[in-house]
Amino acid sequence: MLEVEHLTGGWGPTTIVEDLSLRLAAGEVVSIIGRNGVGKTTTLELISGRARRVSGTIRLDGKPLEALPVFERCRAGLGLVPQSREIFPNLTVTENLSAAARRGDWTMDRVMDLFPSLRRRARNLGRQLSGGELQMLAIGRALVGNPKVLLMDEPTEGLAPIIVEQLMDSLKMLASSKSLAIVLVEQIVEVALELADRCVIMDRGQIVHTASPDELRGNQALLSDLMGLHANVS
């Protein structure tokens, strides 16, 4: 579904991601994990077209994307949930969703079934939402665009543990539906392993290891060494 080959790029004159290749099957969930500053977010921004590509190819369902602007990549089937959420603060929940909606299986009602709190807050403005509700709205906004591939950047960042649990329940439902492929960047290793079919670990702008979640759970020494931290994954 998604094929990234020898991708190199970054921001301004700075190259952050170098010679990165990644393939994603239809319905597959791949988690990208690694220490802060290794290029995880930049990888998603390069795929979505918001960062500066130097070289490499990006194909979605066989269609080359690397020369397309951001909005045409969205039309081709890419959805992005950015780290900063980027919700319109002066639009209601319903208006934020309507602004991004395209025809397909993911409707506003289906998003609100996935995130019931959004239905209760449908008439509230973006600036009136909690952090968890903002994250749900950012995911819902990407879904109503009916993407083939969903890029999610740090969906649990800054959320209280109880909100993370609620969000995880919805993300598990989304991942298990196999209705779209997902690339997830996640700093919390337990979350990344819980949702993924396959994990890739990045360091210094490159993928340095690929493994199944079970392999990483069963070898915490390897995970800690690759991540540069002491992981505690059960």
Q: Which residues contact 72 (CB under 8 A, 6 or more apart)?
A: none
The domains of the chain, with CATH numbers, are 2-227 (3.40.50.300)
Provide mean pLDDT across the span 201-230.
83
**149-183, pLDDT tens digit by residue?**
999 999 998 888 888 888 899 989 888 888 899 99
Q: Which residues contact 169 (CB under 8 A, 6 or more apart)?
A: none
**12-56, pLDDT tens digit by residue?**
999 999 999 999 999 999 999 988 889 999 999 999 999 999 999
What's the pLDDT score for residue 228?
64
| Cβ atoms of 104 and 143 closer than 8 Å | no
Tokens linked to 159: 């959320």
Q: Which residues contact 116 (CB under 8 A, 6 or more apart)?
A: none
